[in-house]
């Protein structure tokens, strides 16, 4: 009998209901705490409620990693249905979610955990690539191993309109925020080796900056896997998102362009008006 495999991830991969349903992906939600109540990311709360809470109270929501018990229950339900599980987690350098999933996986002989070393659809790219591997007939173990190798090829970045959320979350200084506001700077954040860092600073209106950013990112097309590219945003105006999608379409290179919206966990850290272009290169990124 052939191995029955299911691909799963935590909610930080930001694939959304359409893609998870299309590929049969199961999602384990992180917790989002507003005030004294905790909600399941993407199940009981969406990003708009995060922005609404911040606008009303000035407080950022708190994000909670999935604990070992939640992971155990999640994996048990799937393995009891006969599945081997390949589970993708938010970067281990950003959250304890990965370590908790690994601890839970020790109780099973057919659950494999992949550290995406990424966030949002940077991890989502790996999840969809794993779904392709299932169709190609690879075993769960092989998928986990190849996915781990592929993490080095993911190019994930995004531009932030305002540093307010990062500042309140303790991820940038007051001086940096003041300077960025005065100079109208829009930082480009890039994920490398599982952590976020500022790659470049743009100056100007957000919509104009994004056009320049898109042009900068989509270079050396011959080294990019043309299977799919994500344009992922946190609460941007539809016109802005559509303009960037068209800019990518006009290249005539990618087989599929996926426009998605970031979930609560990512939105809680970056804030509204954040947009990224994410894809996989054919060779590891230095």
pTM score > 0.75 for this model?
yes
Does the pLDDT at position 169 exceed 60?
Answer: no
Q: Kindly report the average pLDDT of the chain as a whole number.
A: 89
- pLDDT value of position 214: 97
Task: Express each pLDDT in 81-134 by its tens digit.
Answer: 999 999 999 999 989 999 999 999 999 999 999 999 999 999 999 999 999 999
Q: How confident is the model at residue 52 (pLDDT cuts 50, 70, 90)?
A: confident
**Nearest 5°: CA angle at 20, between 239 and 258?**
30
One domain for residues 108 and 188: no
- 218 & 272 share domain: yes
- How many structural domains comprise the chain? 2
The residue-averaged pLDDT of 148-160 equals: 96
Nearest to 106 by CA among 146, 71, 141: 71
Host domain of residue 138: 5-151
Nearest to 155 by CA among 266, 281, 249, 255: 281
115: CATH: 3.40.50.10170
**How far is 16 from 52, CA to CA, in rounded Å?**
20
Determine, yes or no, domain membership for 238: yes
Q: Return the closest-CA partner of residue 91 out of 101, 83, 80, 82.
A: 101
> Which spans in 90-183 are helix H?
97-105, 121-135, 140-150, 164-168, 174-183
Which DSSP state fits 92?
A: T
Residues 34 and 106 in one domain: yes
Query: 136 and 244: one domain?
Result: no
Are residues 132 and 167 located together in one domain of the fold?
Answer: no
* CB of 221 closer than 8 Å to CB of 253: yes
pLDDT at 171: 45
Which string of DSSP letters, residue by residue, matches 160-188?
A: ES--HHHHHTTSS-HHHHHHHHHHTEEEE
Distance CA 171, CA 258 (A): 29
pLDDT tier, 1 (very low <50, low <70, confident <90, very high otherwise): low
- Mark whether 196 and 144 lie in a shared domain: no
Boundary of a domain, candidates 151, 185, 205 = 151
Could you tell me which residues are beta bridge partners of residue 203?
Answer: 185
Residues 37 and 66 in one domain: yes
Residue 285 located in a structural domain = no
Structural domain contains residue 22: yes
Instruction: Note whether 165 and 197 are same-domain residues.
Output: yes
Same domain, 141 and 195: no
For residue 234, give the 3-state DSSP assignment. strand
Q: Is residue 125 part of a domain?
A: yes
Tell me which of 38 and 266 has the higher pLDDT.
38
Q: Cβ distance 277 to 229 under 8 Å?
A: yes
pLDDT digits (tens, 9 = 90+) for 172-202: 443 344 344 534 678 888 898 888 777 888 9
Shared domain check, 10 and 144: yes
* Residue 5 in this model has a pLDDT that exceeds 70: yes
Q: Is residue 286 part of a domain?
A: no
CATH number at residue 188: 3.30.1180.10
140 has a pLDDT exceeding 80:
yes
Give the mean model confidence (pLDDT) for residues 250-261: 97
138 shares its domain with 188: no
Position 168 in a domain: yes
Give the model's confidence band at 268: pLDDT under 50 very low, under 70 low, under 90 confident, else very high. confident
Is the per-residue pLDDT at 170 higher than 50? Answer: no
191, 119 contact by CB (below 8 A)? yes
- Boundary residue ending a domain (105, 135, 151): 151
Helix axes 97-105, 68-79, angle to 10 degrees: 50
Q: Give the residue-averaged pLDDT of 232-245.
A: 95
Q: Which of 188, 172, 153, 138 is nearest to 283 (CA)?
A: 153
201-221 residue pLDDT tens: 898 899 999 999 999 999 999
Give the pLDDT of residue 162. Answer: 67
Question: Domain check: are 189 and 242 in the same one?
Answer: yes
- Of 90, 118, 151, which residue is a domain's last? 151
Instruction: Kindly tell me if the per-residue pLDDT of 167 is higher than 70.
Output: no
Are 45 and 37 spatial neighbours (Cβ–Cβ below 8 Å)?
no
């Amino acid at each position: 009998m052939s191995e029955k495999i299911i691909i799963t991830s935590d909610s930080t991969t930001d694939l959304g209901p359409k893609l998870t349903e299309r590929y049969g992906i199961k999602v384990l939600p992180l917790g989002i705490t507003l005030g004294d109540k905790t909600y399941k990311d993407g199940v009981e709360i969406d990003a708009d409620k995060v922005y609404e809470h911040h606008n009303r109270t000035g407080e950022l929501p708190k994000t909670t990693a999935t604990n070992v018990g939640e992971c155990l229950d999640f994996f048990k339900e799937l393995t009891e249905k006969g599945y081997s599980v390949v589970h993708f987690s938010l970067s281990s350098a950003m959250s304890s979610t990965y370590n908790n999933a690994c601890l839970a996986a020790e109780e099973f002989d057919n659950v494999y955990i992949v550290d995406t070393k990424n966030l949002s659809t940077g991890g989502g790219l790996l999840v969809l690539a794993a779904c392709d591997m299932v169709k190609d007939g690879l075993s769960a173990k092989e998928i986990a191993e190849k996915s781990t190798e592929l993490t080095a090829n993911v190019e994930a970045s995004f531009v932030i309109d305002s540093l307010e959320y990062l500042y309140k979350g303790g991820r940038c200084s007051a001086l940096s925020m003041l300077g960025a506001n005065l100079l109208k700077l829009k930082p480009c954040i890039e994920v490398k080796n599982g952590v976020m860092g500022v790659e470049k600073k743009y100056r100007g209106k957000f919509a104009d900056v994004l056009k320049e950013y898109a042009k900068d990112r989509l270079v050396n097309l011959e080294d990019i896997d043309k299977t799919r590219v994500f344009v992922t945003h946190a609460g941007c105006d539809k016109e802005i998102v559509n303009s960037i999608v068209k800019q990518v379409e006009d290249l005539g290179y990618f087989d599929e362009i996926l426009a998605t919206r970031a979930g609560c966990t990512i939105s809680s850290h970056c804030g509204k008006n954040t947009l990224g272009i994410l894809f996989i290169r054919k060779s590891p990124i230095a």
